[in-house]
Copies of this chain bind each other. A is one copy, B any other.
C-alpha cells in the first residue's frame, strides 16, 4: 500500500512519513512545489537511516503524490486544504483520503474551534471529494512531539467515517504505529467532536505552560 502525505512537510507529515516508512510502507511526501517535496524526502530518509530503516520516502508534487497513492492524508493547513481538494479531486476518485483537519481561530489569548457550516472540516472535505472514501483521524496528535523519534507516548486516535471498510484500513494503519491506539468513534459526523479537542489541547498547554498535549480515553 502506498501512502501519501499531501502537504506533508510539517511536523505531522514528518511524523507519519517516517513512521509509515519504518513499518515498511511506500511513502510519498507531497508539496505544492516539487523541490520542497524532494528536499523533505531527503530529510525524512536521513532520519529513517539514523533510526536503522531503509530510504523509502519519495518526494512529489501533490498532484503526482495523490495520483500514485492508495491512501492520501491531508496534512495541509486547514485554510488551504479545501482549495487543494478542489484541485486534486479527480485524482482522488475511489481512493481513501484521511482528514486530520482542524479549523480553529484565535480568540484573545486562546483558541476556539471554528467548524464550517457542513459541521466539521471532514464533512466539508467529503462534500468536495464526493467520489473519495473519507476517513478522519490524527486530529489530536501533538505534532511537535510526534516529529521527535526518541519521544515515548501513549495516545489515542479517534477515527470517524461512513465508509466502514476504508475506516478499517485506516484503523489498521494507525495501530501499527507504536504508541498510538486507534478507536472507532463512529460516523464522519462525529468528526466535529474530535476536531474540537485540538484547540482545547492547545489551550490546556498554554494555560499550564506544558508541552504539547494529546488525549487518552480511559
Contact = CB atoms under 8 A, between A and B. Distances in A.
A13 interface: no
A85 interface: no
A213 interface: yes
Contacts of A189: 107, 110, 112
8 contacts: A110-B187, A110-B189, A113-B196, A153-B218, A183-B207, A185-B204, A196-B197, A215-B217
Interface string A127-164: 00000000000000000000000000111001000000
B213 A215 contact: no
A199 interface: yes
Residue from A113, A208, A217 with most neighbouring chain B CB atoms (10 Å): A217
B218 A214 contact: yes
A56 interface: no
A193 interface: yes
Contacts of A110: 186-187, 189-190
A196 B155 CA distance: 19
A199 B192 CA distance: 11
A108 interface: yes
A35 to B, nearest CB: 38
A79 interface: no
A204 B217 contact: yes
A82 B158 CA distance: 32
A207 to B, nearest CB: 5
A185 B158 contact: no
